[in-house]
Amino acid sequence: MTRDQIRTAIQEIGIIPAIRVSSEADALFAADAVSSSGIPIVEVTMTVPGAVKVISDLVRSNPSLIVGAGSLSGVEKAKRCLDAGAMFLTSPGLDPDLVEFAIENNTVVFPGAMTPSEVMAAWKSGADFVKVFPCSHLGGPAYIRALKRPFPDIPLIASGGVNQQTAAEFIHAGAIALGIGHDLIQPRAIERREKGWIRELSLRYLQMIADSRGVLNAK
């Protein structure tokens, strides 16, 4: 897939499931559960043991899945992830070198940002999106709404503490997509290998986003 196609898919789907689990096997199960539920995107965080191998295995076994690398903290690890087949790169904070590396390699990138200054810097650096993180600790949907007033043209991804109670509010506030971790990929569902649990949550989040966007489009 091209950079434009990946960027468009992220916008259209509106959910970036973040996989933070304790083993390679758990990560592969989580990715399969999410992708089979209608969300063809996963972010494998670098906190997963053997994360780079997980990315490689997922890309090889499921060519239609958009696999990204998350929680990146430097260019060296990002390079290994790209070599493994990662299709997007994201970090918890703003690393200009990482953004520059992604752009040089024609790869979708969305760095994290907290303050208006960081949002501006991330966007000016050439990022495809700006991930506002950790959202729940910054005021939740109200903070996204506040940022959209001065930055109406910057596509913001809400991440960190997004859950079933706040997902719709984040979309209404102006978030273009949601980064969701354990509130979608429940630790107990992973432990018990209950794919149906993750599937139910995936469908629920997809419906929330569709309904919220429908309300916005009707205005």
Is 93 within the bounds of a domain?
Answer: yes
Is 111 within the bounds of a domain?
Answer: yes
pLDDT digits (tens, 9 = 90+) for 52-108: 999 999 999 999 999 999 999 999 999 999 999 999 999 999 999 999 999 999 999
pLDDT at residue 138, as a whole number? 87
CA angle at residue 168 from 213 to 165, to 5 degrees?
165
Q: Is 79 exposed, middle or buried (0-12, 13-18, 19+ CB in 10 A)?
A: middle
Is 90 within the bounds of a domain?
Answer: yes
Three-state DSSP at 93 gives: coil
Is 106 within the bounds of a domain?
Answer: yes
Is 217 within the bounds of a domain?
Answer: no
Is 69 within the bounds of a domain?
Answer: yes
Q: Per the structure, how many domains does the chain have?
A: 1
Model pTM score:
0.96
Is 53 within the bounds of a domain?
Answer: yes
pLDDT digits (tens, 9 = 90+) for 122-175: 999 999 999 999 998 889 999 999 999 999 999 999 999 999 999 999 999 999
Taking each helix axis from N to C end, the angle separating 75-84 and 96-104, rounded to the nearest 10 degrees, works out to 30
Across residues 46-57, what is the average pLDDT?
98
pLDDT at residue 58, as a whole number? 98
CATH of the domain at 10: 3.20.20.70
Nearest to 106 by CA among 12, 2, 203: 2
Sequence-distant (≥ 6) Cβ neighbours of residue 1 within 8 angstroms: 9, 66, 87
Across residues 21-27, what is the average pLDDT?
97
Cα–Cα distance measured from residue 69 to residue 67, given in angstroms and rounded to the nearest whole number? 7
| 219 pLDDT above the threshold of 80 | no
pLDDT at residue 19, as a whole number? 98
Is 65 within the bounds of a domain?
Answer: yes
Residue-range definition of the domain harbouring residue 39: 3-211
